[in-house]
Structure 1
Amino acid sequence: MADQPYQCFRFKDSEYKVPIQPIDGEPFVLLDDIHGRTGYKGESFSCKSNPVRFVRNNRYEREIPLRIPAMPDSIIDCDIVEGMIGVTTIHNKLDRLQKSVERIDEKVDKIDLDMEILKKKADALLRQTFQLAEFTVPRLFIILPDTTSKLKQMNRFRNCFRLFFFCEHEEQCHLAFHDGYELDQPGKFIQKYGPYLKNMITVVNVALTVSSVLIPQLGHVASGIYIPEVLRDKRFLTNFQAKLKPLSAMLDEHIPSNDILITLLQHAGNCII
């Protein structure tokens, strides 16, 4: 059996023998073997003052495993370059960074896909629940606390509410372009429609979570259409969501709910949180 060929390296006035590895019929010395045999951790080599380059492919990328051509009849010096970080270390860090970016991109794509699926499911569930396609007049509505009510001003101890309808567009559902209707007998109204309102609040919360269009996009509204002042308020969405909380708490305390519908809708919303 033929003896293992070696390449001689010189590092700090000492010489070391590193095995030569044949790759595709050509003799090379692997960087890992150099590091392991010599204790040299750099990547700069020379032979008779001429640099010894790493093997690269046609895209000028260093071939893996990292290697240099063998020169068995000569001694290759391990050059010490002060202040220089090993190129391998930099490449390894860049590779890890690239892989991390790719994983992040995959997760973002999956989140975007999940969001779109949940949005479609929430919209479909809302339409199926209330059979939107069979009616031509608004039937979806919600009430919100009304702090501007004249009745409230006359009696500060009275809880006042305003009724808002939703426009049931074939592709999206949004608040109708109307200031809403003041309820002069909110107690009787809530007593009659309380269960419906509880379910509707759950639907609205889920729709807001998955970015369903409940607040009309004013920039796309045709000229000549009346836009109520309440929708012009930049804080309307924040106020809208804030008003849902006390209303929901009040209804939870006094009105039984459709547990099956609420469980399904809340589960859909929780999937993206």
Structure 2
Amino acid sequence: MAQNNNDNKRSQKVKFQDQTVKIQTVIINGIECLRLKDVQRKFPKAQILSIDNEYQAFLHDERGNDLEPLRIIACFDQIVEAEESVEPSYNEIRSDLKEIKGIVKRVDNNVQEMLRQIRYVMTQMYELHEFTTPRYFFILPAKHSDIKAIDFVQNWFQTHYKLHFLCECSHDPKQMHVAPHEGYSIKKARDFIVKYAPYLRTTLQIVQVLLSAGGL
């Protein structure tokens, strides 16, 4: 069993940073040693003991396990240098973990937002697939407008127009018909006509033929 012998007390010189002190040694199992815990009483941050820049291994058993209390063999003709551990402190680790948690939380929030947007896009795609938007439309003067006025280009911009959609209830073009709606008023007729002028006259001519053929 380990025994301490405090007879003939001696001290080991220990340096930590710019401060050098003498720390009492102890004899354990016949070996005069410097205990780490005695050094830490003076220098709490000390974790490593070195001599001439050479790290001193703590005394250990034949299996390599450190003996308790942690200690090195005293060397009275040398100064033992106490150093801080190169490993991060508990507070540093805790701070790093806190920062990592913050990053993970931000990433999770971003992922949740991306998933929300993906669900929204998928919903929109599903609705577009299930509820198709009309692809074909034509323009007609409103009922209160004089249809003969459109024979003159200068009257195109004063005429009140409405946009009507063709309903594609079937893939058969013959089954297309005008959607049951009064039409959508075109507020900026000038801009619309300028943009679609190449198609407007042809569309109106076709509609006139259809109306004549239908007896309307």
Bigger proportion of residues as helix? 1
TM over 0.5: no
TM-score normalised per structure 2: 0.34
TM-score normalised per structure 1: 0.29
Bigger proportion of residues as strand? 2
